[in-house]
Amino acid sequence: MLTTIFEHHAANLAAGDDDAIALFRSLVDELRPARPSQIDDASKSIQALCFLLQQHPHHAQVVRHAFLQLFVGKNGSSLFSDQGIQSDLGFFAESYRRLSHKLLPDAPDNRYLKDVFAQIFHHADDDEWVCGVPESVWCDLMQTMQMPLADQTQRDLATQTFKDALQILSYRLSASGLDPELVCQHEDLEHKDSPFIRQNIEIQSFLNLSSPNATDFERLYAGLKQCEQLTQQIRRANAHTGTSIALTALMQRMLQQIRRMQLLLDILHGLLLRHDVHPSLTQLLKTLVVAECKKNDVSDYWRQNTELLALRITENASHTGEHYIAQHRHEYFKLMRSAMGAGLIIALMGMIKIVIASHHLPPLSEAILFSLNYGLGFVFIHMLHFTVATKQPAMTAATIAATVDVNGHDRENVNKLVTIVAQTTSSQTIAILGNVLVVIPVCMAIDWGIMQWSGQHFINSDKALALLESNHPLTSLTVLYAAVAGVCLFLSGLIAGYHDNLAAYNRIPERISHLAWLKRWIGAPRSARLAEYIRHNLGALAGNFYFGCLLGFASGLGVMLGLPLDIRHVTFVAAFSGYAISALDFHLSHFLLGGAIAGIVLVATVNLLTSFGLAIYIAMKSRQVRYQHWKVFFRSLLKALWQHPGKFFLPPK
């Protein structure tokens, strides 16, 4: 079949470059396996092509001539300078562009090498087998083409195309380095000694050389390395100074430009100094094929950008998460006392919720009042330095993921990570016990006080039975509603990280401290203290308030949509059980009592597993943690849980 392809196209190549496109399209169609996962079949097909070119030098000459003919009279620089580089369109504008082009693709224009490349690799899954084929196989194919035997004029045109792409990328990188949003993060970028400006000057000098040497290339590599290091330094600083979607996209685009320039320099180094260029060309080929297959992929674009933004958010959350893990016995019992204090407030919040529900208000009004009750209550708990147990996972998960990101998966660091998980689990256990063991007796005490004052229980027996049955795991959707609450917990953790990032990026504390009217009203010292409080607590306050809003609107949304949507949070399940048991004068069946206990345990478990699982998933995705790291980690975690279960639930030694 390969021989037939060469015989069909060889006679027509002299007529124009359109047949060169058809030749390579036919070759790729022949090399493409039946399924993209069949890498071995693709490798064998490429090796068969190599053997054919070695046995028939005139076929190799046809491929070589066709390949270089693609560079003649075409705009090739856009393929190497644009393909695989994130555009400077806004996040939503680029999403719209990808969606519209996916529904109605561009018409190919053979004057542009980028469109020619799209015609050759025209299957959406070509990237899987192209990247799967070993580098050595692709290098063998390029060697059999024997490019040194090609016409010098055509070779010079191909080399000039790479130089043009390098020049375009250099200009764009220097312009990105002067972006106002980036300069705000690093003021030295406006100076003449900025590495982004300096690399452009050096590359222009390099392109004017008639015969560059190895020293010239080393100087360019060093300049790009400085640009990369500075970009990474600014990205790390963004964990403290905050970021935005636009700035996140800019930093990603700059890193892509730097790496593409390094790859083009590798290719030019090989072409101009007669070194082996095949590995660099192979890497470029794989990069371009991946970019071509993903150029209109909306989900891939969203995944890349949300991973970067989630990294900034979870890093802000992880700084807070370290304070939620009890590493010593003193911290363990301090956390227990903090959780017990929250139990007092939650008992009152549960009381207010029952009062609001008893008035049977319209769904929207009821949802607003529920949200204010929950939101303001959680904010008040935070301001008193108390702890709601299930608020922890969204913070601690980021801390655990950060540990994986830094330490990797060697045995010593995996053991450290298992220790952190054990400490987190024991902290969760004591926080839940602190909440529940206080909220139930406090609710009973409130009901007893109302009984002594009014002669009636806080709720009647029918309402008490309804509360117990609504939380019974066998007669209600309690477990499902607990999972909904877990999702709300997870979202509140992201909201908290987002607002911490917002406060840092927009310098909200500094702006508050400079408000003239606030200084006149409360004085400069109090204004400074308020600014510092906002610096350290804006995310937590926002996360707590929005968590309350999410809980409050869940049931109202279910009513308005006609869906069985509600929430179950362990602290409120415990509070309602306390009011119900007291209202029944402790006369209830074993079925209801067992259901109340099982409901509290199950709701606590599902709350924690759902919120923690989602939070750790996002934290891992944002750091692109490899699967093999987690495989080793989970094996060690299960082993530690089997051998030493006490350290996962009991106070640390």
Characterize 303-338 residue by residue with b for buried, 16 or more Cβ atoms within 10 angstroms of its Cβ, and e for exposed.
Answer: eebbbbbbbbbbbbbbbbbeebbbeeeebbeebbeb
Quote the CA–CA distance of 145 and 72 in Å, as a whole number.
18
Q: Read off the pLDDT band of 309 (50, 70, 90).
A: low
**How many CB atoms are closer than 10 A to CB 653?**
7
- pLDDT of res. 321: 47
In this predicted model, which residue has the larger pLDDT, 306 or 378? 378
- pLDDT at residue 469 above 60? yes
| φ and ψ at residue 192, rounded to 5 degrees | -70, -25
In this predicted model, which residue has the larger pLDDT, 17 or 112? 112
Angle between helices 570-583 and 461-470 in degrees, nearest 10: 150
Q: What is the mean pLDDT of residues 155-171?
A: 86
Residues 6+ apart with CB under 8 A from 525: none
Mean pLDDT estimate for the chain? 79
Location of each CATH 1.20.1080.10 domain in the chain? 312-439+466-648
Q: Read off the pLDDT band of 348 (50, 70, 90).
A: very high
Q: What is the mean pLDDT of residues 186-212?
A: 79
Q: Read off the pLDDT band of 15 (50, 70, 90).
A: very low
Q: What percent of the chain has pLDDT over 90?
A: 5
Q: Read off the pLDDT band of 352 (50, 70, 90).
A: very high
- pLDDT of res. 139: 86
The CATH fold assigned to 312-439+466-648 is Glycerol uptake facilitator protein (1.20.1080)
Q: What is the mean pLDDT of residues 113-121?
A: 82
- pLDDT of res. 390: 65
- pLDDT of res. 376: 92
Token pair belonging to 97: 């562009």
Residues 6+ apart with CB under 8 A from 160: none
- pLDDT of res. 259: 92
In this predicted model, which residue has the larger pLDDT, 513 or 575? 575
Q: What is the mean pLDDT of residues 586-612?
A: 85
State the DSSP string of 360-409: ---HHHHHHHHHHHHHHHHHHHHHTT---GGGSHHHHHHHHHHHHHHHTT
Q: What percent of the chain has pLDDT over 70?
A: 83
The pLDDT tens digits of the residues spanning 79-110 come to 888 888 887 776 677 777 778 777 777 777 77
In this predicted model, which residue has the larger pLDDT, 399 or 225? 225
Token pair belonging to 123: 């299957």
- Nearest-5° angle of CA 611, CA 559, CA 347? 55
Q: What is the mean pLDDT of residues 257-274?
A: 87
Half-sphere exposure of 162 (CA within 13 A, CB side): 23
Characterize 240-274 residue by residue with b for buried, 16 or more Cβ atoms within 10 angstroms of its Cβ, and e for exposed.
Answer: eebbbeebbbbbbbbbbbbebbbbbbbbbbbbbee
In this predicted model, which residue has the larger pLDDT, 9 or 235? 235
- pLDDT at residue 147 above 80? no
pTM for this structure? Answer: 0.69
- pLDDT at residue 277 above 70? yes
Ranking 27-36, 49-58, 369-378, 616-625 by mean pLDDT, the lowest is 616-625
Do 71 and 155 meet the contact criterion of CB atoms below 8 Å apart? no
Q: What is the mean pLDDT of residues 187-215?
A: 80
**How many CB atoms are closer than 10 A to CB 532?**
13
- pLDDT of res. 409: 47
- pLDDT of res. 322: 47
- pLDDT of res. 372: 92
- pLDDT of res. 391: 59
- pLDDT at residue 286 above 70? yes
Element (H, E) at 576: helix 570-583
- pLDDT at residue 266 above 70? yes
Quote the CA–CA distance of 98 and 305 in Å, as a whole number.
14
